[in-house]
Amino acid sequence: MKNINLKGFKLSLIAALLMSGATQAGGGDDPLLTKVMLDEVERGLDSNDPTSFKLQAWVGKDLNKLWLKSRGDYQNSDDKELEIQALYSRAIAPYWDAQMGIRVDLEPSPSRNWAVLGIQGLAPYFFEIDAALFIGEEGRTAMRVTAEYEMLLTQKLILSPEVKMNLYGKNDAVLGIGSGLSDISAGLRLRYEIKREFAPYIGVEWARKFGNTAEFARNEGKKVEGTQVVIGLKAWF
C-alpha cells in the first residue's frame, strides 16, 4: 500500500487554493472557472493503516481545461507515496476528455518522471473512467485504469464502488515494481452529502499485488494483500 508526504500534500492544496482565485474572469456563456475536488482524504481504522488522499483540480472553460491530479499515502517515513500530474485536458466527445501532460512521482525515492496520455469521462451505464498511459525514462511504461460508480441509496446517501489497476511495461526493481499487472485495488465507500460539496464517508478498501510486484514485496517481507476499513471526507469547491 501507499504512503503520504504531508508536505507535498500541503503544497498541492495551496497550489489548488491559489488557482481558485482565477474564477472571476468572465461573462458570456463560458466563464473561466476553477473546481478543486478532494475526492478522498481518509485514514484506516487500524493504527498500522496508511493515511491517503486523492485530489484533483481544474481551471478552465467548457472544452479546455488544465488539470492537476495528485494522490498519496503515508504509512511511515520509509513507506510513502506521492504523485502529481499536470495535464492539459480537451473535450473530444460529449462525455470524454483527452488529457496529456506530465506525471512526477516524488515519493518513494528515487523519483520517476512520466509523460501522460489519458482519457477521462463518463462511460455508458454511468461508469466514471480515468485511463492513462505513462511513458517514462529508460523505456519505462505504465498504464492505469480507474472505474467508479455511484449508487444513490437516497438523494444524499451514496454508495460508491471503485476499482483501480496498475500495469507496467518492465521491472523497476529499486521501487519494487514488476512488469505486467502490478496491483489491483477495490474500494466501497458510503458517503453522506451534508451538502453537495461536503460528504464524510466510511468505506472498505481491498488491495493486492500481482506477478513480479508481489514477488518483490514477498522478498522484502511486505504484505501482498490487505483490507482496511477507512473513514474519510469527500469535498469540493
Partner 1 sequence: MSNTKNNLESMSGLQDKGRRRFVLGASAMLALAALPFPKNAFAKAISESLTQLSGKVFDLSIDYKTVNFTGKSARATVVNQVLPAPILRWKEGETVTLRVKNNLDEDSSIHWHGIILPTEMDGVPGLSFDGIKPGETFEYQFKVQQNGTYWYHSHSGFQEQTGVYGPIIIDPAEPDPVVYDREYVVMLSDWSDTPPEKIYANLKKQSTYYNYSERTVSDLFTDIRKHGLINTWKARAMWNDMRMSDRDISDVTGAAYTFLMNGKTPEQGWSALFKQGEKVRLRFINAAAMTIFDVRIPGLKMTVVATDGQNVQPVEVDEFRMGVAETYDVIVEPEEGNAYCIFAQNIDRTGFTTGNLTSAAHLVAAVPSMDPAPILGHGDMGMSMEGMDHGDMDHGAMGHGSMDHGAVAQAEMDHGSMDHEAMSHGEVDHGSMDHGSMAMGAPVLGLAGFGSTAEIKHADAEYGPHIDMRADAPQNGLHDPGIGLRNHQAEYNRKVLTYADLKGLHPTYDKRQPSREIQLHLTGNMHRYMWSINGVRFEDAEPLVLEYGERVRFTLVNDTMMTHPMHLHGMWSDLETGDPDFIPRKHTVIVQPGSTISYLVTADAIGKWAYHCHLLYHMPGMFLKIVVR
- In the complex, which residues of this chain contact partner 1 (CB under 8 A)? 23, 28-31, 33, 35, 62-63, 91-96, 122-126, 151-156, 159, 196, 236
**Residue 74 Cβ, how far from partner 1 at the closest point, in Å?**
29
What distance in Å separates the CA atoms of residue 112 and residue 174, rounded to the nearest whole number? 11
User: For residue 193, which of 156, 161, 160 has the smallest C-alpha distance?
Assistant: 156
Closer residue to partner 1, CB minimum distance, 18 or 122: 122
Return the closest-CA partner of residue 87 out of 44, 63, 55, 116. 116
- Cβ at position 27, least distance to partner 1 in Å: 8
What's the closest the beta carbon of residue 65 comes to partner 1, in angstroms? 11
Nearer to partner 1, 12 or 34 (CB): 34
Q: Which one, 156 or 223, has the nearer CB to partner 1?
A: 156
Query: Least Å distance between CB 23 and partner 1?
Result: 7
For the bound state, the minimum distance from the C-beta of residue 132 to partner 1, rounded and expressed in Å, comes to: 19
Map residue 69 onto helix, strand or coil: strand
Strands (E), 137-179: 141-148, 151-152, 157-168
Decide whether 149 or 217 has the Cβ nearer to partner 1: 149
* Smallest distance, partner 1 to C-beta of residue 133, A: 21
Residue 173 carries which DSSP code?
G
Q: Which is nearer to partner 1, 47 or 155 (CB)?
A: 155
Query: 50 Cβ partners below 8 Å, 6+ apart?
Result: 1, 2, 3, 4, 44, 73, 74, 75, 79
In this structure, how many other beta carbons lie within 10 angstroms of the beta carbon of residue 112? 21
Q: Read off the C-alpha cell for 131.
A: 485511463
What is residue 214's DSSP assignment?
H
Q: How far apart are CA 59 and CA 8, in angstroms?
A: 20
Residues in the chain: 237
The 10 Å Cβ neighbour count of residue 70 is 24
Nearer to partner 1, 28 or 221 (CB): 28
Contact between 15 and 86 (Cβ < 8 Å):
no
Output 24 or 47, the one with its CB closest to partner 1. Answer: 24
Min separation Cβ 24 and partner 1, Å: 9
